[in-house]
Amino acid sequence: MEAEKFYSSQELEKQYNVRDSRTDYETKIIPDWIDRSILTRKNLKSNIGIPYGKSEKQKLDFFSSPNTDAPTVIFFHGGYWQRGDKSVYSFLANSFVNNNINFLTVGYDLCPSISITEIVLQAQEAIVWIWKNASKLEINKNKFIVSGHSAGGHITGMMMGTEWNKISSDLPNDLILAGIPISALNLLEPIRHTSLNDALKMNKEEAKSQSPIYLTPKTNASQLVVYGANETDEFHRQSNIYYEKFKSKERKIERFIVPEADHFDEMNDLSNENSEFFKKMKKFIELL
């Protein structure tokens, strides 16, 4: 499973440090997402910056649909656990709200201020807070779909492997109705051997304990495993090893490959309600 056995250090860097493959990342991709997200927060019914924890970044942005019984997508942003912010991803809310799906983005502290292990604990804290405050948010606590992109996809896998009633006895183990990891990082050991680990500071033990591939989902909740057709081989592998290991007759796990999309284009596709990706995600949610 450990990719460093098959790639040189330079090749491994290219496989995972995908931001370097897009020269327009800083000049076009992120500025465009930020601008569209600002408009989204102005135009949609929203509640921005809801605190769920003690730190400044432990906040939620909630975009509600008109349907009071709507499912809620709880979304964790990417950025290799060391970059990014929930506010950059508000633009995704439009396609969901327009189709009667609530959309909630989660902020969390970043490495190296805290570890990946602590980020996972913050993610759990966020979901527990949302579940316990569902009535205040006016959402159905039985219709939570956890999703996320890249590092957020990793967090999604870790949430699927969480035993919720061990966190609090009043929580149901089937707290999450379904999971949709997008370009998830399910095996962290290869990342230890790239420059990305300079901020993460993972050792071998943490890389294993925080890898979803070693954490069996705790329920048979359905999952939709997604990655882009134009992503690197390692990102394909990261999704496929999870899909192959955990799908079963009892646990329905589907796989969807976003056509002609790389690691960043797939987010633009998700924001377009007429795209194959959004239509697939919408159908998946509707059939739950």
CATH of the domain at 180: 3.40.50.1820
pLDDT band at 68 (very low <50, low <70, confident <90, very high): confident
Q: Comparing 65-69, 107-111, 272-276, which segment has the lowest mean pLDDT?
A: 65-69
Average pLDDT over residues 32-50: 98
Residue 4 confidence (pLDDT): 45
| Neighbouring residues of 145: CB distance < 8 A, sequence distance ≥ 6 | 71, 72, 73, 74, 176, 177, 178, 179, 180, 285, 288
Token couple for 182? 């997008």
Closest to 218 measured CA to CA, from 183, 167, 150, 184: 167
Whole-number average pLDDT of the chain? 96
Determine contact, residues 232/54, Cβ cutoff 8 Å: no
**pLDDT value, residue 238:** 98
Number of domains in the chain: 1
For 266-284, what is the mean pLDDT?
98
What span, in angstroms and rounded, lies between the C-alpha atoms of 78 and 194? Answer: 17
Task: Examine the pLDDT at 69 and tell me if it is beyond 80.
Answer: yes
Is a pLDDT exceeding 90 seen at residue 218? yes
On the question of pLDDT at 3 being above 80, the answer is: no
- Could you give the 3-state DSSP secondary structure of residue 41? helix
Exposed/middle/buried for 219, CB within 10 Å: 0-12, 13-18, 19+? buried
Angstrom distance (rounded) from CA 87 to CA 79 = 13
Mean pLDDT over 94-121 rounds to 98
Contact 12, 187 (CB under 8 A): no
Can you tell me the mean pLDDT for 128-152? 97
104 φψ region: left (φ > 0), alpha (ψ -120 to 50), beta (else): beta
Query: Model confidence at 60, in pLDDT bands (50, 70, 90)?
Result: very high
Verify cis geometry, omega within 30 degrees of 0, for the bond prior to 31. no
7 has pLDDT over 90: no
**Tokens linked to 45:** 């019914």
Overall average pLDDT of the 221-241 stretch: 98
Distance CA(58)–CA(39), nearest Å, equals 23
Instruction: Give the model's confidence band at 5: pLDDT under 50 very low, under 70 low, under 90 confident, else very high.
Output: low
**Which among 37, 77, 41 has a CA at the least distance from the CA of 62?**
41
H or E segment to which residue 243 belongs: helix 233-246
Q: What is the mean pLDDT of residues 110-118?
A: 98
Whether residue 274 is predicted with pLDDT greater than 80 in this model: the reply is yes
C-alpha of 45 from chain center: 23
Distances (CA, A) of 232 to 17, 34, 90: 10, 25, 26
Place of tokens 């420059």: 195
CA distance linking residue 250 with residue 244, whole number of Å:
14
The predicted structure's pLDDT at residue 1: 54
By residue range, what is the domain housing residue 144? 3-286
Q: Report the C-alpha gap between 281 and 54 in whole angstroms.
A: 33
